[in-house]
Amino acid sequence: MKPPFSPPPSSSSLLSLRGKGRLSPYLFTLFLFILFVAVLYGEDFMCIFGEQLQLYSTADTFFASSSSSSSSSSQRVKRERKLPFAVGKTEEGCDVFSGRWVRDEMRPLYEEADCPYIQPQLTCQEHGRPDTGYRQWRWQPHGCDLPKFNASMMLETLRGKRMMFVGDSLNRGQFVSFVCLLHHLIPPHQKSMQTFDHDSLTVFTAKEYNATIEFYWAPFLLESNSDNAVVHRISDRVVRKGSINKHGQHWKNVDIMVFNTYLWWMTGLKMKILLGSFDDEVKEIVEVSTEDAYRMGMKSMLRWVKLNMDPKKTRVFFTSMSPSHQKSIDWGGEAGKNCYNETSMIEDPNYWGSDSRKSIMQVIGEVFKKSKVPITLLNITQLSSYRKDAHTSIYKKQWSPLTPEQLANPVSYADCVHWCLPGLQDTWNELLFAKLFYP
């Protein structure tokens, strides 16, 4: 009787076959198969060999970098060589994103009035916010302490380099916070903030350092019909598949990259994906679930990083979803209310909120887990979800004058998406600092 599977030829039988001087059909098929796989996955084959070479050449500068439990799955064995910019490491087993907020009278880290770069949509004190307590919280991880944000170390690291934030208005907030945290070290005539390309690109330059910190507006990362940095309030959003190079061409030669994208995918409806070009007369559009659309965006980003960022010299970060606080009932408040007039944070450590954040976080987890591309996740969603007190609410410059009806009901126009500066986003940058230097 024949066995159900033929056993694989052992190496000795292969040798003996070869010894007979005749190429067996077995061997020939195997050879064809290997050739086929090698062609299909040529790049990965090269990667595997490349990684091994690096492992040997840098063996004595090794240290394990998979320290935090949240990122250990995304930092696999092969990434345990020293990461660029690392000067140390976070304590073994400490997940810096898991912790609690503690009162700190030494905060804020800078004053609103001392940072001229904060856009008027985020200067809450200037726009009459009566309370200041939201600025006096420090994030305390459960397993270790965060390093202090060292502005001079950050600036020295950026000497001759280009750092860029790419994404939506929330990432713009993080960018501005980052600049605010270090600009005081640079004398007035040695620094500038300029915008280019109809405000798509904002560049902070530290002249004597020959360093730039930039923000590039691309709310979906991919090309979309919301790409105009000024006029982008489009209700019927369309994203073009496979179009990341449209914007990505402007991100070349960046040394430290910080991506985000989330809010714009949340239309509450299926997402419209354009398959051809925005110039096509008849546009081919398919509608997919928010999660599938977002997954497509994530994969495009990883592919762009793989093809354009050198993991031996550069670092890439991805900031997870910034939570909104639009419905008080989510945290046990009164129906019909939102973040307006909230001056304390949510105490329930398990609070997460009601919207689709969970399924999107799952997509991020899945896509990152499957990928070999070294990206550091800044998992700020949970720690920010407690902070219903930290939004700009009504204390900001309005895009258009408010109507008497709105004025009579502040809840109706409170911004429960963006964050006051100084404030919560300074903590995101402290975490970025921690992950950059102590991965």
Ligand X SMILES: *[C@@H]1O[C@H](CO)[C@@H](O)[C@H](O)[C@H]1NC(C)=O
Comparing C-alpha atoms, which of 358, 413, 418 is closest to residue 122?
Answer: 418
How far lies 122's CA from each of 142, 213, 415, 438, in Å?
30, 19, 10, 30
Quick note: the x/- pattern for ligand X over 73-112, rule CB under 6 A, is ------------------------xx--------------
Q: Please, which of residues 232-261 interact with ligand X by CB under 6 A?
A: none
One residue of 135, 162, 295, 357 binding ligand X per CB under 6 A? 162
The CB-based long-range contact list for 147-153 (8 Å cut-off, 24+ gap) reads 147/433, 147/434, 147/437, 147/438, 149/109, 149/181, 149/426, 149/429, 149/430, 149/433, 150/433, 151/181, 151/182, 151/184, 151/185, 152/185, 153/437
d(CA 177, CA 154): 14
**169 in active site:** yes
d(CA 176, CA 88): 26
Closer to ligand X by Cβ: residue 48 or 402: 402
Q: How far is the CB of 286 from ligand X (least distance, A)?
A: 27
d(CA 138, CA 146): 10
Among the residue ranges 148-156, 165-173, 178-186, 260-268, the one whose residues contact ligand X (CB under 6 A) = 148-156
CB 172 within 8 A of CB 165: yes
One residue of 341, 371, 406, 412 binding ligand X per CB under 6 A? 341
Report phi then psi at 313, rounded to 5.
-125, -15
Asked if residue 203 binds ligand X (CB under 6 A), the reply is no
Closer to ligand X by Cβ: residue 174 or 385: 385
Asked if residue 185 binds ligand X (CB under 6 A), the reply is no
Q: Which two tokens stand for residue 295?
A: 């997954």
**What residue type is assigned to position 238 of the chain?**
V
Q: How far is the CB of 360 from ligand X (least distance, A)?
A: 10
**418 in active site:** yes
Closer to ligand X by Cβ: residue 206 or 274: 206
3-state secondary structure of 20: coil
Asked if residue 332 binds ligand X (CB under 6 A), the reply is no
Q: Which two tokens stand for residue 428?
A: 């995101």
DSSP character for 297?
Answer: H
Catalytic residue among 67, 169, 177, 224: 169
Catalytic residue among 183, 227, 418, 426: 418
One residue of 361, 371, 406, 412 binding ligand X per CB under 6 A? 361
Q: How far is the CB of 418 from ligand X (least distance, A)?
A: 20
Q: How far is the CB of 322 from ligand X (least distance, A)?
A: 13
Asked if residue 365 binds ligand X (CB under 6 A), the reply is yes
Asked if residue 70 binds ligand X (CB under 6 A), the reply is yes
Q: How far is the CB of 57 from ligand X (least distance, A)?
A: 26
Q: Helix and strand tally (H, E) in the chain?
A: 12, 14
Total residues contacting ligand X (rule CB under 6 A)? 19
d(CA 12, CA 18): 10
Asked if residue 302 binds ligand X (CB under 6 A), the reply is no
3-state secondary structure of 267: coil
One residue of 47, 86, 153, 203 binding ligand X per CB under 6 A? 153
Among the residue ranges 77-85, 171-179, 278-286, 376-384, the one whose residues contact ligand X (CB under 6 A) = 376-384
DSSP alpha helices (H): ranges in 326-376? 357-370
Q: How far is the CB of 394 from ligand X (least distance, A)?
A: 10
Q: How far is the CB of 180 from ligand X (least distance, A)?
A: 18
Catalytic residues: 169, 415, 418
| Residues in contact with ligand X by the rule CB under 6 A | 70, 97-98, 148, 150, 152-153, 156, 160-162, 210, 341, 361, 364-365, 377, 379, 382
